[in-house]
Chain A
Amino acid sequence: MSASLVSWAAIVLEGVILLRGLRNHLIHRYFLFYVYVSFVLLVDIVRLCCYRFAPHFYSSVYWSAELLVIGASYIVVIEIFKQVLKHNPGTARLAENLLLIVFACTLVYAGSDLLGDQSLSLPHAIAELARDLRYIEAALLAVMLSLFVRYRISIGKNLRGLIVGYAFWVGINVMILSMWFLPGHQASVPLRRALPPAYLITLLIWCSALWATRPEPVSPAENEVERDYQILAARTRSMLARVSNGLVKAMRP
C-alpha cells in the first residue's frame, strides 16, 4: 500500500466521519472528539501537501505535526471521561483522583528523562517528547478503561465504538513506539509498516460506530421508582399543606 494512497484514504475517512457527525448531530454530543478529527484532517492535508510539493521539509514537518496531533488527542481522553462518567458521579470522582495521580507521576518522570538527556538533536527530542506524551496518554487510558470495566459502567453504542477505536489506535501506537526506540530498532521495521493500516482500521471503527445516532444509557434520575418517590413526596407535601391550612382555619377565632 503506497504512502499517498493511505494518506488519501485517511483523509476521505476523516471527512466521512465529520460529515456523518454533522448529519446525525453527533457533533454536538461528542464535540471534543470531532474537534480532534477536524484537527487531524487539517494536519493530514498539510502533511500530504508538504510530501508532494516540499519533500525536503517533510521530516521536520512530520514530527512537529505528530507532536501536535498527540497533544490534541488528549481531548479525546477528556471526551471519553466526560461522556462515560456523566451519570456516574461517584466513579467520576474516584477516576479523577486516580488519573491526576497517574498524570502527575508520568509527567514528572517523562520530564526528568527528557531534561536529563542534553545530547539530543531537536528532531530526536521532539520524537522522544511525542513518545512520552503517548505513553502518558496510554497510562491514563489504561486506568480509565480498567475503572469502566471494574465498575461495570454501561456505555452507549456510539461511545463504545469511539472508545474501542481510540484504544485500538493508542494500544498499537504504544506497542510500535516501544520497539521504535530500542537500540538498533530492527524489530520496529515490520511493526512500523502496520501503523498506517492500523490507523485506517481505527477510522473504519469510528466511521461504523458513529454512522448513526444510538440511544445513550438513561440517567439514574429518570427511573420509575424515583418518579414514584417524587410523586409520593409531592402528594405528601400537598397533604401536609392541606392539613396545616385546615389547622390554621380551625384555630382562627
Chain B
Amino acid sequence: MIGPFLAFVLGMVILALAFYILAGSSPKTSKPAVTVNDYAKAREGLELVLFETAAIETICSVEDLNFIARAGNDDVRRLFLKERKRLALLWLRKTQKVVAQLMDLHLRLASYTYDPNPGFELELNAKYGAFVVLSNIVLLVLWVAGPFKGRRSIAYAIRTSGHFCMVFSLRLERLNPTRLGSSRESLVH
C-alpha cells in the first residue's frame, strides 16, 4: 500500500508526538485550563485590537504625510516617518500577540464547545497558519520600507486581523462563561 518512505515518516511522526506529549507533561510546559480571567482578558484584547485597527488606518494614511511634506522641513518629516514606523511595528506585533493568544484560547476552549464544525476548524487553522507567515513578512516590509511604502501589506494585515477579530468575537459570544474555571482555581488538577 503506502510507500515505505511514507510509512517510515509516519512512524517518526508518532514517536515525535509521543515525545511531545511526554515533554509537555512537566509543570513548566503544561498549560492550566481556561479561567474566567483568561476569558475576560481575551475580550479586552479583542476590543483593544478592534479599536487600534481602526486607528492604524488613520496613522498610515498618506494625507498626514502629504501635510508634513508640504511644510518642507526634513527633520520634522524624518521624525514623523520614524514615529509612524514605530507605531505601525508596535501595532502589528501587538496584533500578532493578541491573535496568537486568542487562537490558543480557542484551542483550549474546544473542550467546552458541544458543536465544533470540522470544516470551520480546518479553515481557521489554515488561515491562522497563513496569518503567522504573512504577518511576519509584513513586519519585515514595514521595518524595511516603512508604513507608507508598504501600504498594501498593512492593508492585508488590517483585513486579516479584522477577520480574526470577527471570528473570535463570535466564538467568545457563543461561549458560556459559567463553564470556565474561576481565576483562583484552575480547571484541571
Chain A interface residues toward B at CB < 8 A: 87-91, 93-94, 97-98, 106, 109-110, 113, 132, 135, 138-139, 141-142, 145-146, 148-155, 157, 160, 163-164, 167-168, 170-175, 177-179, 181-182, 215, 217-218, 220-221, 223-226, 228-229
Contacts of A139 in B (CB 8 A): 10
Docked Cα-Cα span, A224 to B180, in Å, equals 9
B182 at the A/B interface (Cβ < 8 Å)?
yes
Task: Name the B residues within 8 Å of A178 (CB-CB).
Answer: 4-8, 11
- Interchain residue pairs with CB less than 8 A apart (12): A89-B111, A93-B116, A94-B118, A139-B10, A141-B14, A151-B110, A154-B30, A164-B21, A167-B21, A170-B11, A179-B4, A220-B111
The smallest C-beta distance from A157 to any residue of chain B, in angstroms, reads: 7
Does B80 count as interface, using CB distance less than 8 angstroms? no
Please judge, given known A-B contacts A149-B17, A171-B11, A224-B184, whether A181 and B112 are in contact too, CB under 8 Å: no
Residue of chain B at shortest CB distance from A223: B181
User: In this complex, what residue of A is CB-closest to B20?
Assistant: A149
Which chain A residues border B8 with CB–CB below 8 Å? 174-175, 178-179
Q: Which residues of B contact A90 (CB under 8 A)?
A: 110-116
- Inter-chain contact B111/A88, CB cutoff 8 Å: yes
**Contact indicator per residue, chain B 4-48, by CB within 8 Å of chain A (1) or not (0):** 111110111111011011101100001101001000000000000
On whether the beta carbons of A149 and B21 are closer than 8 Å, the reply is yes
- Which residues in B have their C-beta under 8 angstroms from that of A97? 118
The size class of the interface chain B forms with chain A is 35 or more
Residue of A nearest to B7 (CB): A178
Contact A218 B11 (CB under 8 A): no
Query: Are B187's CB and A220's CB within 8 A?
Result: yes
B185 within 8 A of A: yes
Question: Which of A93, A171, A172, A217 has the most chain B CB within a 10 Å cutoff?
Answer: A171
Among residues 138 to 189 in chain B, which have CB atoms less than 8 Å away from a CB atom of chain A? 177-182, 184-185, 187-189
| Residue from A94, A177, A181, A228 having most chain B Cβ neighbours under 10 A | A94
A151, A164, A179, A225: the one within 8 Å of B178 (CB): A225
Interface residue from A151, A160, A226, A228 paired with B22 (Cβ < 8 Å): A160
Which residues from chain B sit less than 8 Å from chain A, CB to CB? 1-2, 4-8, 10-15, 17-18, 20-22, 24-25, 30-31, 33, 36, 104, 107-108, 110-116, 118, 121, 125, 177-182, 184-185, 187-189
Evaluate contact between B107 and A152: CB separation under 8 angstroms: yes
Q: Check B33–A109 contact: CB distance below 8 A.
A: no
Q: In the bound complex, how far is the Cα of B179 from the Cα of A195, in angstroms? A: 46
Is B114 in contact with A218, judged by CB distance below 8 angstroms?
no
- A218 CB to nearest chain B CB (Å): 6
- A226 touching B178 by the CB < 8 A rule? yes
Interface residues of B: mostly helix, strand, loop or mixed?
A: helix
Nearest CB of B to A162, in Å: 11
Given contacts A94-B118, A113-B1, A218-B189, 20 further A-B contacts (CB under 8 A): A88-B110, A90-B114, A97-B118, A106-B1, A109-B2, A110-B1, A132-B1, A145-B14, A149-B24, A151-B111, A153-B111, A154-B188, A167-B21, A168-B18, A170-B14, A171-B11, A173-B11, A182-B4, A223-B185, A225-B178
- In the complex the two chains form, what is the Cα distance from A142 to B107 in whole Å? 18
Give 9 nearest A-B pairs by CB, closest first: A175-B11, A167-B18, A178-B7, A171-B14, A174-B11, A88-B111, A145-B17, A90-B113, A171-B15
- Say yes or no: A148 contacts B21, CB within 8 Å: yes
Q: Is the CB of A174 within 8 A of B111?
A: no
B90 to chain A, nearest CB (A): 29
> How far apart sit A218 and B31, CA to CA, in the bound complex (Å)?
15
A218 touches B188 (CB 8 A): yes
- Chain B residues whose CB sits within 8 angstroms of the CB of A225 once the complex forms: 36, 177-182
Collect the chain A residues with CB atoms within 8 Å of residue B185's CB. Answer: 223-224
B91 to chain A, nearest CB (A): 28
